[in-house]
Amino acid sequence: GVFEQEHTITNTDRAVGGRISGAIAREHGDDGFQGTLNLKFKGAAGQSFGVFNIKGLHLRMEGEVNDYMGKGMNGGSITIFPPSGSAFAGEQSEMAIAGNTCLYGATGGRVFVSGRVGERFGVRNAGVQAVIEGSGDHLGEYMTNGVIVALGSTGRNIGAGMSGGLLYLYDPMDQIKSYELVNQDNSDNADRVVSPDGEQQLKELIEDHANRTGSPAAKKILGDWDMHLPHFYQIVPPSERNSRFVKPPEPPPQNVDSTFKREPVLMRSCVAEPEDSGATRATFVGSSRT
């Protein structure tokens, strides 16, 4: 079944959703819950909003959230978007709508943040797919799996210690390379998106983000996809090099003339035959092989 409820919260309400996830896990395990809980919130959430979020639990927040949002989550979804007319709204806003160290150690689920986030977003991310609209320093630090899409500017030290997963960074001003924003661990692993599967993955995440949050930034990019796609960098650790989301398409096979036939190749071998006089005469025997 489906259950929906709305609440107003303040920044003294910490770890919202954690107890619910715990109750679901005790009853159904990590993946056994088949229902849907849609919980909508307004206001300002304290630390660890959506902590340990589980499959089937979908949190929607109209307002801001503090540090550690989505910590340890393994399923469900978290959606953050600004109230209309707030200082967080608008593509040019430099204010962070979500705090620092979000998704710490998370292993699954989806997160959509219509606005900027603080520092260390996605630290130790091990499976969450997320879309944000800009971040502070240390994006994707120690990341081992999952996908993070950034539709706005990012800070320095991107991908420090990142050994798995993918980052998609929208960079129309080419600042990532110009200012050397990627940590030396992955500074040679920043390339444009060349895989059709990678393009599809990126576009589907941005479409989901636009549908869930109404993000103007996402709608702008989707409105002229062919123009904006070349402005994305894909940060690819060595472990992901052979991923279908990274590898360029295989070249088409060359045309082969079906009427072409190989001519037989004459194979000659030398056989030594003794003569009556005691001398040896060499005889070449031919055989054909196609």
**What does the pLDDT read at residue 145?**
98
Q: How confident is the model at residue 290 (pLDDT cuts 50, 70, 90)?
A: very low
**What does the pLDDT read at residue 258?**
59
Scored b (16 or more CB within 10 A) or e, 156-184 reads: ebbbbbbebbbbbbbbeeeebeeeebbbe
**What does the pLDDT read at residue 268?**
55
Residue 10 has pLDDT above 90, yes or no: yes
Which residue do the tokens 């040019």 mark? 92
Q: How confident is the model at residue 84 (pLDDT cuts 50, 70, 90)?
A: confident
Residue 116 has pLDDT above 70, yes or no: yes
| Residue 112 near residue 93 (C-beta atoms within 8 A) | no
Q: What is the CB-side half-sphere exposure of residue 225 using CA atoms within 13 A?
A: 9
* Widest pairwise Cα distance in the chain: 116
Could you report the per-residue pLDDT of 200-213, keeping only the tens digit for each?
999 999 999 999 99
The least confident of 164-168, 224-228, 281-285 is 281-285
